[in-house]
Structure 1
């Protein structure tokens, strides 16, 4: 099996950052959930797309979306730029590709701030997601 870091993500979409996880999917999920809790953030929901597909007789790769944030941080962004509410709270996709590599994908902070014209002084409210995900995928 090739090293996913060297191969790069299997897909690329403008405005989405995808990082390889050296951990199994369950461990990657646990690491993200722990980091969310340890940073005092609220986990609003965990959507298990693969389980939902199975419930209707379909099969798909493992795919989980965790939706989390902090109203104290997100609210000022939505006041300044109401349409960013379409993106908040933040969402992270943890998924497994056909070759069994685990990936973590999330919206790019620079893309969100540009797309929704977030004032520069509020960009830091969501900038922490990069470090948060780096901690999740750290070996």
Structure 2
């Protein structure tokens, strides 16, 4: 199985894109569980890494039904978005398409409505974080 990655180009810097996404998450009824600055962690270890931040977010009302269907879905929850700068100084917001959860964890029909909501919601948040 190949995870399907969704990459959205951003018109902003990594930090501004991550800030925008974080600000959009809370009013959407979701929570930011963690924000990890991989570049800062690399620098602390004496290593270079282009700007790279990971936001981990979600809500138990969305993730719990998926784990009730197949508890192993918890390996991929909460949802994650990676905001990073490529070698050409272009910024991307990348996330694993929610469809990979269905395939990877053999989620059943009971998860379909939650998955549809997640797919639409994450696409909307990503697009707005990269533009607005």
TM normalised by structure 1 equals 0.84
Q: Which segments of structure 1 move beyond 6 Å, counting only runs of 4 or more?
A: none
Give the 5 Å matches for 1:38-53. Answer: 38-53=27-42
Q: For the residues of structure 1 that align with 2:105 and 2:65, how far apart are their CA atoms?
A: 13
Match of 1:58 in 2: 47
Instruction: Choose the corresponding residue for 1:131, options 111, 124, 129.
Output: 124
Q: How far apart are residue 30 of structure 1 and its match?
A: 1.2
Aligned residues between the structures: 127
Q: Which runs of 5+ in 1 are unaligned?
A: 1-12
Greater relative CO (CA pairs within 8 A, separation 6+): 2
- Contact preservation (8 Å) 2:14, 2:53: no
Match of 2:14 in 1: 25
Q: Which runs of 5+ in 2 are unaligned?
A: none
* Structure number having the greater helix percentage: 2
Q: For the residues of structure 2 that align with 1:80 and 1:101, how far apart are their CA atoms?
A: 38
